[in-house]
């Protein structure tokens, strides 16, 4: 667990409003721990915390934010190493939650995180559980400004991933399983701040994004997490966080479990829409009905327009390659319209 992410908390202005927002989005329950610190849990497991931003920070117009916590074995040494390698220590080691000690550090590029020394129940899920923190990712414009810092202070191994400008972070104790990531993004896309993003797992991006907007939040952008669909969102008080859809492997396991349960109970898992689609394909072939293909193309386009990611020989994300993405979308839309209209144009 050392040198890995274990916790996150939200510094907010109106804690009651924040609790309502995240309960609506993630179905969180809450436990007041006193001193303005509130734990949130999913099905009885602690996953994060919320607290009211101190008045002195509100006076200087500091925005609401989610903070990432890294577990360390010797916080005094980490602070010394951080300062030695160009970081700014915003908060010297002091008592923190659960009888531990905390220190707030900003890396050489300005991204903030908190170090925690002591015993703590990890709030991060390793099983893609909906409503829980599942990932932390550093968003920076220049990797070289921070790479040696994290390697020297935490002993991390930073390796390029299969996705352009994205890097995985490994520890010596877990050399085959990344513990976090780094996304190199231009200021034009991410703004002028470097930051650690907190990712929460959801069953459905579409449903959760609708809930976020209905609860007063905002969906800012589609920003895939590697090959997984993800969205950057603001809560009702402006705090940024990410939602990422359950990993397909986990979703497949869940569907298999559900199928087994349904079978045991005599239930049915027949996919009627898929069967109807196959019948329509047969009709299109037999009757040479091109308009059916036009309808199919439109149906296939809808998820890509919602997620901001399409596939044409390779993965194309709207945020990463907007011109190419919209060109592909336009071609498919025009083709769909042509196939739908052409059979009736000369009747």
| β partners of residue 222 | 231
- Is the per-residue pLDDT at 69 higher than 80? yes
Residue 190: per-residue pLDDT: 75
* Domain locations along the chain: 5-249, 270-345
Q: What's the pLDDT at 254?
A: 42
Q: What CATH code would you report for 5-249?
A: 3.10.180.10
User: Model confidence over 138-163: pLDDT tens digits?
Assistant: 999 999 999 999 999 999 999 999 88
Distance, CA of 144 to CA of 142 (rounded, Å): 6
At residue 98 the predicted structure's pLDDT band, cuts being 50, 70 and 90, is: confident
pLDDT per position as a tens digit, 163-197: 889 999 999 888 889 999 999 988 777 778 899 99
* pLDDT range class, residue 270, cuts 50, 70, 90: low
Q: What is the pLDDT of residues 220-252, one digit of tens each?
A: 888 888 888 899 999 999 999 999 998 754 443
Predicted confidence at residue 309, as pLDDT, reads 62
The predicted pLDDT at position 186 comes to: 81
Compute the distance between CA of residue 242 and CA of residue 199 in angstroms, rounded to an integer.
5
């Amino acid at each position: 667990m050392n040198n890995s992410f274990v916790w996150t908390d939200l510094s907010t202005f109106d804690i009651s409003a924040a609790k309502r927002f995240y309960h609506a989005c993630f179905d969180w329950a809450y436990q007041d721990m006193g001193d303005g610190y509130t734990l949130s849990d999913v099905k009885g497991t602690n996953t994060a915390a919320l607290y009211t931003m101190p008045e002195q920070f509100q006076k200087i117009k500091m925005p609401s934010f989610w903070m990432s916590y890294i577990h360390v074995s010797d916080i005094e040494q980490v602070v010394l190493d951080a300062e030695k390698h160009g970081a700014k220590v915003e908060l010297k080691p002091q008592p923190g939650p659960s009888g531990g000690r905390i220190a707030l550090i900003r890396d050489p590029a300005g991204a903030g995180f908190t170090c925690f020394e002591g015993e703590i129940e990890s709030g991060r899920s390793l099983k893609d559980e909906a409503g829980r923190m599942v990932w932390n990712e550093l968003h920076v414009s220049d990797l070289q400004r921070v790479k040696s810092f994290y390697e020297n202070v935490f002993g991390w191994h930073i390796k390029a991933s299969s996705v352009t400008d994205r890097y995985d972070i490994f520890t010596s104790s877990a050399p085959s399983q990344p513990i976090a990531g780094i996304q190199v993004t231009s200021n034009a896309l991410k703004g002028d701040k470097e930051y650690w993003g907190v990712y929460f797992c959801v069953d459905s991006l579409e449903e959760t994004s609708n809930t976020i907007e209905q609860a007063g939040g905002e969906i800012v952008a589609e920003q895939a997490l590697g090959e997984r669909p993800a969205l950057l969102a603001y809560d009702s008080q402006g705090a940024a966080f990410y939602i990422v859809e359950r990993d397909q492997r986990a979703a497949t396991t869940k569907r298999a479990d559900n199928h087994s349960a349904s079978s045991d109970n005599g239930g049915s898992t027949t996919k009627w829409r898929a069967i109807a689609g196959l019948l329509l394909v047969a009709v299109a072939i037999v009757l040479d009905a091109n308009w059916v293909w036009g309808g199919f193309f439109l149906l296939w386009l809808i998820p890509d327009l919602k997620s901001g990611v399409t596939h044409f020989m390779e993965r194309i994300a709207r945020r990463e390659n907007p011109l190419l993405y919209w060109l592909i979308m336009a071609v498919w839309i025009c083709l769909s319209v042509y196939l739908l209209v052409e059979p009736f144009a000369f009747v």
